[in-house]
Amino acid sequence: MSASPHYQTIAALAERLAQGELTSVELTQAVITRTQSVEGKVRAFNSRDEADALAQAKASDERRAAGKCLGVLDGIPIGLKDVIAVRDQPLTASSRMLRDFVSPYDATVTERLKMAGVVIWGRLNLDEFAMGSSTENSANAPTANPWDLSCVPGGSSGGSAAALAAGEAIATLGSDTGGSIRQPASLCGVVGLKPTYGLVSRYGLIAYASSLDQIGPFTRTVEDAAMVLQAIAGHDERDSTSFKIEIPDYRAALTVKRGPWKLGIPKEYFGEGLDPEVARAVEAAVKFYRDQGCEIVEVSLPHTQYCLDAYYVIATAEASSNLARFDGIRYGHRSAKAKDVVDLYFQSRAEGFGEEVKRRIILGTYVLSSGYYDAYYLRAQKVRTLIRQDFLNAYKQVDALITPTSPTAAFKIGAKADPLALYLCDIYTIGVNLAGLPAISVPCGFTGAGLPIGLQVIGQPFAEAELLAIAQAYERGHDWCNRHPEL
């Protein structure tokens, strides 16, 4: 294990804090120092408040000294994607539209992390309003991949993945609408968990596509992911899509002997467009599971070919509706050039939104417009039902599915200027969001150029405990999570 606190796991650090070997102030200062040394290269943060973080850490140490420790996350610095509200902190969505906006309230996940004693550390960069797969669509500078600073970290939660990989946080939170946690986790060589839709409250998350968005953690290990999920999962009356279910002890569940499992390999996920190096790494992971006694079965998800089309109709339609609130009148950017109220609306949105956001708003408005709603949006929703049914049919045969997370490793910044080429980066992840399922990406190797490769495990609805166990079974047989980039 790395001697540097900023590269240790939550589990290891929680033990050191409990034993008195380390204080939260020391840990937080180590993370701050690391951030100061590498952030100029990585550009993962939109903003950070070092004094506030140290004040939170000091409060954690005082609680611990008084015998009032709030749990295993107490005193651990965790960064948040800049679409998750933190009271009295900037909330910009990496957009000119919200450049000067400060949140007046906490998101539910922020509240729950604070209740667990977490040191809330910084606001992390993303593709503007979470629309993108490379973090190049940020109104700020593009974030770099710590493994190769000339490459993208993935997106839209690229800042969250890069900060963790670079040792600038002990864990981070992101949001996943079509792969925005799992794909950057894959490209940055960390663990990224997208929970079942409705397991984690979306209250306080700036909405992109409300029926697809879900908040989840980036961590170094599967065990750490279980610990963070434990803190943020659960019903919330302020989110109408939040499910009322009993939340198990995810970390304890990892200590229960499970498996071997029956695992499905979707034949549609191993065809054209999959990089040979990625294919070999994932096939090696499949062989590992087989050698552990798991039964490997080929399954079919026949409507996979329609995932991308359905996603970009549904997601853009919901984005068009959700982003209508940014009108230059109530809050956010207001144009100084407007001649009247109508012009204010047009000018403010033209100046405030970036090109990709405008593209998706226009597309979404079109598919919702009179005469096109039935032809596009309604049909896409019907296809979505078929896609979900494909997964549920597969789960009649298997416990979980194993796939690549991304068709390629990280690519060069600026290499995919064509929007469609970027959209195809999420080809293996968007079906999970359309079906509302949980999925996790874990590191499973490196390319010849030294770039990380991710393995995706897709679980059954609300079966996160089983999903985490399957992922950890692979992780324990390999040392990928102990490797860190040289910055």
* Helical packing angle, 10-19 and 222-232, nearest 10°: 80
pLDDT at residue number 113: 98
Q: How many CA atoms lie within 13 A of 405 on its CB side?
A: 37
Residue 135 has pLDDT above 70, yes or no: yes
- Structurally, the chain folds into a number of domains equal to 2
From the candidates 81, 94, 134, 160, which is the catalytic residue? Answer: 81
Evaluate whether residue 335 is within a structural domain: yes
Q: Give the pLDDT mean for 38-43.
A: 98
**Is 156 annotated in the active site?**
yes
Evaluate whether residue 285 is within a structural domain: no
Q: Give the pLDDT mean for 62-78.
A: 98
Same domain as 334, residue 185: no
Range of the domain at 252: 5-263+397-482
Alpha carbon distance 89, 49 (integer Å): 9
Evaluate whether residue 179 is within a structural domain: yes
Q: Nearest to residue 201, comparing CAs of 152, 143, 149, 242?
A: 242
Same domain as 193, residue 77: yes
Alpha carbon distance 387, 442 (integer Å): 24
Q: Give the pLDDT mean for 319-337.
A: 95
- Assign residue 241 the CATH number of its domain: 3.90.1300.10
Among 321, 354, 371, give the residue marking a domain's end.
Answer: 371
Residue 2 has pLDDT above 80, yes or no: no
From the candidates 156, 175, 201, 406, which is the catalytic residue? Answer: 156
Same domain as 324, residue 175: no
Q: Give the pLDDT mean for 398-426.
A: 94
**Portion of the chain with pLDDT greater than 70, in percent:** 99
Same domain as 256, residue 309: no
Sheet containing 400-404: which strands, arranged edge to edge? 45-47, 119-124, 77-81, 171-176, 214-219, 191-194, 439-446, 452-458, 400-404, 262-266, 295-299
pLDDT at residue number 1: 40
Among 371, 387, 417, give the residue marking a domain's end.
Answer: 371
**Is 180 annotated in the active site?**
yes
User: What are the tens digits of pLDDT across the range 463-482?
Assistant: 999 999 999 999 999 999 99
What's the mean per-residue pLDDT of the chain?
Answer: 97
Same domain as 333, residue 249: no
Evaluate whether residue 245 is within a structural domain: yes
pLDDT at residue number 420: 85
User: What are the tens digits of pLDDT across the range 146-174?
Assistant: 999 999 999 999 999 999 999 999 999 99
Evaluate whether residue 71 is within a structural domain: yes
User: What are the tens digits of pLDDT across the range 11-29?
Assistant: 999 999 999 999 999 999 9
Same domain as 336, residue 235: no
Q: Give the pLDDT mean for 66-83.
A: 98
Alpha carbon distance 278, 276 (integer Å): 5
Evaluate whether residue 288 is within a structural domain: no
pLDDT at residue number 4: 84
User: What are the tens digits of pLDDT across the range 247-297?
Assistant: 999 999 999 999 899 999 999 999 889 999 999 999 999 999 999 999 999
Evaluate whether residue 201 is within a structural domain: yes
Q: Give the pLDDT mean for 59-71.
A: 98
pLDDT at residue number 3: 60
Give the dihedral sign, CA 434/440/444/447.
positive
Same domain as 200, residue 135: yes
Q: Give the pLDDT mean for 103-128.
A: 98
Alpha carbon distance 36, 203 (integer Å): 32
Same domain as 357, residue 402: no
**Is 160 annotated in the active site?**
no
User: What are the tens digits of pLDDT across the range 173-225?
Assistant: 999 999 999 999 999 999 999 999 999 999 999 999 999 999 999 999 999 99
Same domain as 146, residue 41: yes
Same domain as 457, residue 341: no
Evaluate whether residue 270 is within a structural domain: no
Residue 389 has pLDDT above 90, yes or no: yes
Same domain as 73, residue 22: yes
Alpha carbon distance 44, 392 (integer Å): 37
Same domain as 459, residue 411: yes
From the candidates 180, 242, 320, 441, which is the catalytic residue? Answer: 180
**Portion of the chain with pLDDT greater than 90, in percent:** 96
